[in-house]
A = this chain, B = another copy of it.
Amino acid sequence: MARSTEFMEDLCTPAFVVDLDIVKRNSEAMLERFAKLGVQVRPHMKTHKTIECADIMTRGLRRCIVVSTLAEASFYADGGYDDILYAYPLTPEKVKRCAELSERLSLFHVLVDNTVALQELKKKPLKQGKVWHVWLKLDCDTGRAGVPHSDPAALQLAKEISGAEGVELTGIYTHCGNTYKCEGELQIKAVAQETTSLVLQFVEKLKAVGIQDVKSSIGSTPSCSHPVLDMAMLSEVHPGNYVFYDAQQSLLGSCTLEDVAVRVLTRVIGHYPHRNQLLVDCGWTALSQDGANRLPTGYAIFENHPELKLVSMTQEHGAVEPVSGNLDFSQFPLGSMLSLIPYHACATAAMHPVYIVHSKGKVVGNWKPTRGW
């Protein structure tokens, strides 16, 4: 485990470090962007899974968040959070835990995309006169979970939810994951526009059959980093990664590299001139295997060293080569520290039991995420 220390250069490596000032800046930028549009931000917790970062993202209100697991839901409920949306397709064996959370919190939301899940909710009415708050997951051409927007089953399911005893159709939820295939702001905005239009059209269809006051929420860090004007007509957005950002988001055009708040610090552990390679103490347990073959510099970007490439990793070893030519080993003494910008911050954060938080070069805290399901 990382030991308590004041200075970055003394940290045991590998270490996952978070720049507190950038986190705050990214968080405020998102809140201000949507305050201007009059849209509620319901930040997603899946990237960091810590109380401290959630406090920043909710400006200390501890309300109105999205989670990806029931472990996160319980962790935040235990931490004094409320109005929690568990944005994951509900299956029968999870209904009991969701009922407990619904009865414990003033507002707990679940998500469904099929009638089987709805039947399970109807079979388990909530106590204390509470109702199930249900979001219908709509697939707006991302092709993961959700009823396809063009499928008549979507409207049919909305009607069934809306008409069910003890159940309320609270909102329509869409993840525009297809923004991850974009290159640049223009393409991102095109997907954001298309998704927004499809969700708003669906809400209109609901109104046409007498189903009123249903919220709408879309999300993805790319679309919420470059919102289109029509997003002002949504009730909420639910991005998550933006609080850290990463190399992937900079490639997509969601941010610049200066906006990336996280690094993996690593040290040089070996010089192997006979194969023009050095080793660092960053394997996939520290970086994850996300981003294979996605960057010209391998699995990550070496900060201030564009000439280096992380060519391969095993559990605790990373192999580093020059992008071209011969490595100048004298520049990278044994034990010297290098800083990696991760390809995918969600995947890298998931590998770490503790995040070292720093501000202006000094360590100011440790954040401990929840894990499991």
Tell me the A residues contacting B by CB distance below 8 Å: 1-2, 10, 12-15, 46, 68-71, 88-89, 91-94, 97, 113-114, 116-117, 143-145, 148, 151, 177, 267-272, 274-275, 279, 281, 284-286, 288-290, 292, 314-317, 319, 333-335, 346-347, 350-354, 371-373
Instruction: Please give me the residue from chain B that is nearest to A333 by CB atom.
Output: B116
* Contact across chains for A2 and B270 when beta carbons are under 8 A apart: no
- Neighbouring B residues of A274 by C-beta, 8 Å: 148, 151
Shortest A121–chain B CB gap in Å is 13
The dominant DSSP class at the A interface is loop
Q: How far is the CA of A196 from the CA of B94 in the complex (A)?
A: 52
* Contact across chains for B372 and A2 when beta carbons are under 8 A apart: yes
* Contact across chains for B91 and A334 when beta carbons are under 8 A apart: yes
* Contact across chains for A144 and B289 when beta carbons are under 8 A apart: no
* Contact across chains for A93 and B285 when beta carbons are under 8 A apart: no
Q: How far is the CA of A15 from the CA of B12 in the complex (A)?
A: 31
Tell me which of B10, B177, B269 contacts A91 (CB under 8 A): B269
Tell which of A15, A91, A177, A267 has the most Cβ of chain B within 10 Å.
A91
* Contact across chains for B114 and A271 when beta carbons are under 8 A apart: yes
* Contact across chains for B14 and A373 when beta carbons are under 8 A apart: yes
Q: How far is the CA of A12 from the CA of B91 in the complex (A)?
A: 10
Instruction: Please give me the residue from chain B that is nearest to A70 by CB atom.
Output: B12
Copies of this chain, count: 2
Q: How far is the CA of A316 from the CA of B314 in the complex (A)?
A: 23
Q: How far is the CA of A69 from the CA of B2 in the complex (A)?
A: 12
* Contact across chains for B117 and A334 when beta carbons are under 8 A apart: yes
Tell me which of B15, B275, B315, B373 contacts A1 (CB under 8 A): B373
Q: How far is the CA of A86 from the CA of B189 in the complex (A)?
A: 51
- Neighbouring B residues of A267 by C-beta, 8 Å: 91, 93
State whether A292 and B290 are in contact (beta carbons under 8 Å apart), knowing that A12-B373, A314-B144 are contacts in the complex. no
State whether A372 and B346 are in contact (beta carbons under 8 Å apart), knowing that A89-B270, A317-B145 are contacts in the complex. no
